Amino acid sequence: MNELTILATLASIHWVALMSPGPDFALVVQNTTRYGRQTGLYIALGLSCGILLHSILSLTGVSYLVHQHPGLFAMVQLLGGSYLLYLGIGALRGLWLRRYADHSDKNATQQTGDFLLASKRQAFSRGFATNILNPKALVFFISLMSSLVPAGMSLGGKGAALVILWALSFLWFALLAWLLSSSKLQSKLHNAAKYIDAACGFIFSLIGFTILLSSLADITMMLLE
């Protein structure tokens, strides 16, 4: 298999994976719906940079070493699961506070706005952290790189693979943010914002809780051995 075929296969698999609903997708949908295009684009940039770092770590073998060391991988799972659960609970809490904001003081509205995103840097950081702390992403890129990118691939080929993975990631999430923030769609989504927040909060909470259970089970097994 020549390098062009490898890169084309890598791009195809990654593109399909990007379109699968998950924490990254939910993060863009939730915050673009509520805060608009600019926030969505900075989240897209953060997510794509997280994917780039995952790709580099997988290509250099660092992620493989982490995955093969049960203690380190369990720590990654704990951090990732806790962060996603934090996002989920925060989204649901924000929804609850907004629901009763009219019956309380202005601090409730301020809290819900501050919890999610208040700046470009915060949007980028939220996107980056959501992706890089997702242990499922770590495993995915280990599998992708180890199965498609041969050790003997040229440095230029490996560099091209990194650029393709980053570019496709940013393109997809930026396109999603752009479409969701169109004027016609925004007017419709505004009325559905609370339902979107609830769905995204549930997704974050469910995935985070599942990852935490898995990591705790792994830690228990290690302690019993």
Q: What is the pLDDT of residue 132?
A: 94
Per-position DSSP letters for 3-42, written without gaps between them: HHHHHHHHHHHHHHHHTS-SHHHHHHHHHHHHH-HHHHHH
Of the two residues 76 and 163, the one the predictor is more confident about is 163
Looking at the predicted structure, is the pLDDT value of residue 23 above 60? Answer: yes
| 134: enclosing H helix or E strand | none
Looking at the predicted structure, is the pLDDT value of residue 107 above 60? Answer: no
Q: What is the pLDDT of residue 105?
A: 53
Token pair belonging to 37: 């295009």
Cα separation, 164 vs 158, whole angstroms = 10
Q: Which is it for the CA torsion 178, 124, 193, 84, positive or negative? A: positive
Q: Percent of the chain beyond pLDDT 70?
A: 88
From the centroid of its chain, how far is CA 114?
20
Q: What is the pLDDT of residue 201?
A: 86
From the centroid of its chain, how far is CA 76?
15
Which of 66-70, 103-107, 149-153, 196-200 is predicted with the least confidence, judged by mean pLDDT? Answer: 103-107
Looking at the predicted structure, is the pLDDT value of residue 25 above 60? Answer: yes
Tell me what the pLDDT averaged over the chain comes to.
84
Which is nearest to 216 in space by CA: 67, 66, 22, 82?
A: 82
Q: What is the pLDDT of residue 112?
A: 46
In tens, the pLDDT along 68-80 reads 888 888 888 888 8
Residue 47: count of CB within 10 angstroms of its CB: 30
Cα separation, 42 vs 49, whole angstroms = 11
Looking at the predicted structure, is the pLDDT value of residue 108 above 60? Answer: no
Cα separation, 91 vs 173, whole angstroms = 20
Token pair belonging to 133: 């702390």
- The set of residues, in sequence order, having a beta carbon less than 8 Å from that of 128 and lying 6+ positions away, is 46, 47, 49, 50
pTM check: above 0.85: no
Q: How many CA atoms lie within 13 A of 149 on its CB side?
A: 26
Most confident segment among 17-26, 73-82, 170-179, 185-194: 170-179
Q: Is residue 188 left, alpha or beta, with left meaning phi > 0 and alpha meaning psi from -120 to 50?
A: alpha
Which of 7-16, 31-40, 191-200 is predicted with the least confidence, judged by mean pLDDT? Answer: 191-200
Cα separation, 29 vs 23, whole angstroms = 10
Cα separation, 225 vs 223, whole angstroms = 6
Structure letter (DSSP) for residue 100:
T
Average pLDDT over residues 202-209: 89
Q: What is the pLDDT of residue 114?
A: 43
